[in-house]
Amino acid sequence: MSILRAAKTSTSKGSVNEEGISSLPYALQQLTINSIQGGNGGPGGGGGGGGSGGVGGTGTGARINLAGAGGIQTFNLHVTTQNSEELRNTLIRPISCPPPMHLNPKSIPGSAICPRSRNYQPPTTMNPTAHHAGSTYMLEVYRNRQGVPPLGTAVFEELEAKAREKFENYPGVFMYAGGSAGTNSTYRGNVRAFERYRIVPRMLVDATTRSLETTIFGVTYSSPLFIAPIGVQGLFSPSGELAAATAGKNLNIPFIMSNASSRSIEDVAAANGPGHRWYQLYWPASNEVTLSILARAKASGFAALLVTLDTHLLGWRTHDMARSYLPFAHGVGVQVGMSDPVFMARMGREPQVSPRPKFPYDAREMDRALEAGDEEVRDAVELGMEWLKEINSGRFRDWEDVGFLRENWEGPLVLKGIQSVGDAERALECGVDGIVVSNHGGRQVDGAIPSLEALVRIMRSSKVREAQAAGKFTILFDSGVRTGSDVFKAIALGAQGVLLGRPWLYGAAVAGQEGIEQVLKMTLADLDTTLGLSGYRSIAEIQGQGQEVLVECDL
C-alpha cells in the first residue's frame, strides 16, 4: 500500500494520490523534486511542512515543490511515514519507470496537436509485463552519477580494449577470443554487414508500452537474446562457465553451454538452477561418447541441443598458431570429457568430479611444469589431447548422420553453422527443428559470407519462410552482433532469436559475472530503446518485416 494517504494541491493542475504522481498531467510528469519538508502532525490534522493532514488522523505533513512545464507547483501531502527518504523514494519511483501517459488535448493549444486526436481517450492501465528496460537503465545510470560500473564503459571497442589490457601478461588469452581465421576478413565482414541495413523509424506511434517477449519452441522468453556458447571460459574468469550460467539465471536469459567448457555439465546446470539452458555439441567421433553427453545434458535439464557443424577441424587461426596457443593441449576446456564416464573409462580412469583448471591459465608455466616432469600436468595434457581428438576429430559428418541425433535426442534439435540456402532447406527436410545462421564469429573460414547476408539469402527461400510461419522451423542467428540495434536488425531480417558472444565474454574478462550481467543489461536496454524510438511496440511487430523496417544502403 502506498504511504500517501491523501493529498491536496495549491493549484488546479493535478494531485498526488495513492499511485504516487501518476495522475498528474503530462506537463508535470517529467519532474524534479526540489525539496521535501515535513514534521509530525497531531490528531485531527498533520502540521509538518505547513501542510494540512487528513481529518481525524495522526500523520506527517509534507510540502514538495515540483518543477514542470507550468513552472513550480506546490503540493501539501498527508502521509503515513515520518521518513523523508521513504517518501522521496515513493515519489521518485514512478519517474524512473513511468506508466503510459498521454497528452491531454484540452490542456494544449489547438495548434499544437493534430485535430483528429481531440477525442482521443488514453488507456487507464498499463500492461504489467510492459518493457521499459531502456529508459529505466539509462535513468539509473544518469541518476547514479557513476557512469556504468563495473565495466566503466558502454562502448564495445572500449570494453574490448579493457579485456585486452586485463590479460597483457598472458600472451594468447585475449587473441583466443578476439582473433579469427586467416586475415580476420570474415570477422570484419560480419560486423560491417550490419552497416548495410538501416532502420527507418516511424513517428507518432504510441510505443509507450513495449514488450521484448519472444516464443521459441513453445517457450515464451522475456527477450530474443541468448547467451551464445563459448568454449574455455575459464581462460577469462576464475569461475568460468559458472559466471555466465548464473548471469543467465539472474536475468532470465537462456544460456547455451559449450561442449568445450572448463566446467562439467552438472556443475554448470547447478549454477544455472531454474534458468533456461540449452546445450551445444561439438559432435564427437565416437557414438558412445556422443550418447553419454546427450544423456548427461538431458538429465541436467538442458532443453534443446545445438549441434555445431563447422568445427570438425579447427580453423586456420593465425594468431593462435603464432604462439602455439591451444588450451585443450594443457587440459583446459576439456572438463566435459574429464567428467564423462564413457570417455574416462576408455582412458582407464574414473570420471573426475567438478574438475576445474587453474586460473589464470599460463601456457608457458604449464610447459615448464611439463618439462620438469609434473605428473598432474602430464595427465592433463594426455586427457586434453585425447578429448581434442574426439571433438575436433577431422571426421566430417553428412546429412544421413543427423538421423542418429534425431533418434537419440527428445527435445528441440538445432543445427548451428548453416550459411547457405540449400543447407537451410536440407535441414528442414531432414526433420530438425531449427538452425542457427552462423559462421562461428569468423573463426573457421576466412573470407566467408557475412552471417547477416547469409540470413538475408536464407529468408528469401519460400520453403524456409513458410515453415517458419507455420511454426515448424525456427531461425536463430549469431556472428557480428555488438549492440541492441544489431539484434533489432537481425530480428527484422527474419531471425527469431539472437545469440550474443564476444561482448559478454569481454565483460567476463573485465569484471566476471557482474561484467557479464552489465553487458546483457545494456544490450537489452539498447534493444528496448531502439524498438520504441523506431516506432514499434513489440518484437513480433518487426520479426521478418525487413522490407518495412529496414532499408539496404551501399557502403
Catalytic residues: 440
Cβ atoms 320, 175 nearer than 8 A: yes
Cβ atoms 523, 484 nearer than 8 A: yes
Which phi-psi region, left, alpha or beta, contains residue 204 (left: φ > 0; alpha: ψ -120 to 50)? Answer: left
Report how far apart, in Å, the C-alpha atoms of 140 and of each of 60, 92, 97, 333 are. 29, 11, 10, 38
Between CA 362 and CA 235 the distance in angstroms is 9
Between CA 116 and CA 96 the distance in angstroms is 31
**Can you name the residues that pair with 227 across neighbouring β-strands?**
255, 500
Q: Which residue's C-alpha cell is 519517474?
A: 95
Q: Which residue's C-alpha cell is 502521509?
A: 79
E-strand spans in 124-232?
A: 197-199, 214-216, 219-221, 225-227
CA 83 to the chain's CA centroid: 38
For residue 538, the SS3 value is strand
**Can you name the residues that pair with 77 across neighbouring β-strands?**
7, 62
DSSP 376-434: HHHHHHHHHHHHHHHHT-S----GGGHHHHHHH--S-EEEEEE-SHHHHHHHHHTT-SE
Q: Which residue's C-alpha cell is 564495445?
A: 156
Q: Is 374 exposed, middle or buried (0-12, 13-18, 19+ CB in 10 A)?
A: middle
Cβ atoms within 10 Å of 398's Cβ, excluding its own:
6
Identify residue 494 by its one-letter amino acid code: G
Cβ atoms 409, 304 nearer than 8 A: no
Please give the grid coordinates belonging to residue 183.
586475415
Cβ atoms 321, 297 nearer than 8 A: no
For residue 221, the surrounding DSSP H or E stretch is strand 219-221
| Cα–Cα nearest to 131, from 205, 201, 223, 200 | 223
Please give the grid coordinates belonging to residue 192.
560491417
Q: How far apart are the first and last CA of the chain?
A: 56
For residue 8, the surrounding DSSP H or E stretch is strand 4-9
* β-strands 60-68, 33-40 pairing: antiparallel
Between CA 452 and CA 284 the distance in angstroms is 29
Please give the grid coordinates belonging to residue 85.
527518504
| Cα–Cα nearest to 354, from 521, 239, 522 | 239
